Amino acid sequence: MFEANLSPAFNITRASHAVLTARDLDRTEAFYCDLIGLIKSDRSRDALYLRGIEERSHHSLVFHRSDAPPACERVGLRMLTDDDLKRAYDYFGSIGCKPKWAELPHQGLTLHVDDAIGTPLEFCATMDDLPSNLQKFELYKGASPMRLDHFQIAAHDVRKATDFYLAMGFRLTEYTATDGKEEIWGSWLQRKGNPHDVVFSSGRGPRLHHFAYSVPEIHDIVHVCDVAGSLGFEQHFERGPGRHGIGNAFFVYFRDPDGHRVELFNAHYQAIDINHTPLRWDLSNTRRSQLWGLPAPARWFYEASEFAGKKVHEPVLKADPVTLETFLGKQF
C-alpha cells in the first residue's frame, strides 16, 4: 500500500530550505535572530538569508520583502549532485510536471517544479559554503536551532501527495488513518533517515503548515519560551511545549510576525532500515498529536501559509479535530 521506489533515478537527500515573504524584514530579523537564535548569512533591502548554527550551507530560510499578503514562495529540497538534478528534470518532464531551471543567489543549479498537489518545490545540490559556527558557543541564543529538519504541508489530497513522494524515493515512517480502514489522513515521509523530511496532513491545501528546526536539548525549548517572555514575543507563542506521539518530538510552536509557523523540537529517532514498517495511528487516537498536554488551539489546525499564486482546494477528507477550545468546552 505504501511501496517506496527504493532505486529512484535521482537522489533527494533532505529537506533544505524555505522561501517566504515578509512585510517588514527588520521585524522578521528580530524574531528569527533575537528570539529563535538563527544566524544571519546576508541581508539586503529586499532579502534576508538565515541559517542554523551547524548549517554550513548559506541558508535554510529566505525572506523576500513584500507588501502582498504573507506567503510561502517555495519549499526547498536538496539533491546530492547536479547530475541528479538533470535526471530529475527528465523525470518530471516525463510525468507532465513542467520542470524549469532557475538562477538564484547563493545557490548552484536550481530546479523548480510543482508536486502532484501544487506545492512549489525548489531543488538544488549546492549552495555557498560558509564557515562552521558549531563551536562558536557565544552564538548559541534563543533555542540554539541547529538545522532545518522538515516541512509540514496541509494537503487537500494526502493520498495523491504521498504517492508522488513515494515514487521519488521517499519512505513512509508513520501515518494516520481512519479507524479500521486504510484511508490516509496524514503521512510522515523521509529521505535522510529520521522520521520525516516532509509531512502531509489533511486540510485546505496546498499550504505550508510549518517548518521545523532541530535543537540540541529539551531545555533549549524551555529557554526559548523564557526568552519570548523577556523580549516581548509572548504573543507569538502558539502551542506547547509538549511531546508528539508521532515522531516522538518534544516541541513548541511559534508564529512569526507575518503568521508563518515555526516548530522547534528535539528527540527524533533514526529510521534507515528497509524493514522499518510504517507506524499506524488511528484518527481517533489523540495521543498521536500529544502524548501528554493540552490539544492544539483551533488556529494550529486551520491556519497555514498559502503558496504564492497557488489555488487552495478544499480537503477530500473532512473531520473535526479535537482542539483546545473543544477540549476545554468538554471540561467545563
Mark out the alpha helices in the chain (DSSP H runs): 25-29, 82-94, 158-167, 218-231, 298-302, 324-331
| C-alpha cell read off for 329 | 468546552
Residue 309 CB contacts under 8 Å (≥ 6 apart), including other chains: none
Q: Which is nearer to Fe ion, 89 or 213 (CB)?
A: 213
C-beta of 247: minimal distance to Fe ion in Å?
7
C-beta of 43: minimal distance to Fe ion in Å?
27
Cα(105)–Cα(86) distance, integer angstroms:
20
Sign of CA dihedral 52, 23, 207, 238: positive
Q: Which is nearer to Fe ion, 25 or 262 (CB)?
A: 262
C-beta of 208: minimal distance to Fe ion in Å?
11
Cα(134)–Cα(79) distance, integer angstroms:
24
Cβ neighbour number for residue 49 with a 10 Å cutoff: 22
Q: Which is nearer to Fe ion, 125 or 155 (CB)?
A: 155
Q: Which is nearer to Fe ion, 117 or 212 (CB)?
A: 212
- Binding residues (CB under 5 A) for Fe ion: these are 212, 263
Q: Which is nearer to Fe ion, 141 or 210 (CB)?
A: 210
C-beta of 289: minimal distance to Fe ion in Å?
11
Q: Are 258 and 70 in contact (CB under 8 A)?
A: yes
C-beta of 225: minimal distance to Fe ion in Å?
17
C-beta of 268: minimal distance to Fe ion in Å?
10
Torsion angle defined by CA atoms of residues 163, 169, 172 and 173, in that order, rounded to the nearest 10 degrees: -170
Mark out the alpha helices in 129-196 (DSSP H runs): 158-167
C-beta of 139: minimal distance to Fe ion in Å?
24
Mark out the alpha helices in 158-297 (DSSP H runs): 158-167, 218-231
Cα(316)–Cα(202) distance, integer angstroms:
8
Q: Which is nearer to Fe ion, 258 or 263 (CB)?
A: 263
Measured in degrees and rounded to the nearest 5, phi and psi for residue 163 equal -60, -40
Give me the amino acid identity at 86.
Answer: K
Q: Which is nearer to Fe ion, 49 or 250 (CB)?
A: 250
Q: Which is nearer to Fe ion, 126 or 323 (CB)?
A: 323
C-beta of 251: minimal distance to Fe ion in Å?
7
Residue whose Cβ sits closest to Fe ion: 212
Cα(108)–Cα(53) distance, integer angstroms:
22
Measured in degrees and rounded to the nearest 5, phi and psi for residue 195 equal -55, -35
